[in-house]
Structure 1
Amino acid sequence: MIIKWLLVPAIIFAVYLSLRARSSLRGQARRKILAVLTVVAGVFAVIFPDSLQVMAEWVGVTRGTDLLLYALALVIIYLVGSTSVRFREQESRLVQLAREVALAEAEVRFRTQQN
């Protein structure tokens, strides 16, 4: 079954991509390209539903819906990891901002006490 040889690296690749830092322009471009490809593939599957069955048979899956399920699982794995990384980055920025505000307030209090 070809699907096994396709899914295992695809899962590893999806996890790897989703856990990378998001701040680079290359990462942002990659996310946009992936979103466009997902939409195009979805529209293609709706317009030509038999093509999904043909692709499924080609990779060794019995039904096109199973192939669609595998693809959606990959997308969900990517989205969960990506969201997790984004939340961690935002939390880090929030902590840095809170520290800067606390230091600025402490400096203002120190100056008012000296006067």
Structure 2
Amino acid sequence: MLTRFSFEQVLSKISRDWLVVARGRTLPEAWERSLLALAEECIKVFTEYGESSFDAPAVIVVKEPLAEPRVYLKGIVAGSLRGLFDYVADVMDGVRDHLVEKPSTPTRSACSRTSCRAALQQIR
């Protein structure tokens, strides 16, 4: 049986020492705010693909999740519609799972908030 919790109840169960919380009316708005919050609170990690990335535990609250727009259109403009379909196939069907190396131990290195912000500025 599933138990429903309010957002406040969920937050009370998670460590508040390090948690990114982003709120928005629509999915794209909340997503964009989550990226800005990530820049403030991230650590640098290395993915299973061997690429560096930014990471932080996060909660994204969307007030009207079914309101339009529901797709982050800036991401499509920056990339391509084909890239979006490739991403969906990767997430839903695991079409690139064979490329993932299984490291014996995860690699993590903390970075300062300043260096995370600087790194995000470079990729914008």
Same fold (TM over 0.5): no
Q: Which has the larger radius of gyration?
A: 1
Q: TM-score range by the shorter chain?
A: under 0.3
TM-score, with structure 2 as normaliser:
0.22
The structure that is strand-richer by fraction is 2
TM-score, with structure 1 as normaliser:
0.23
The structure that is helix-richer by fraction is 1
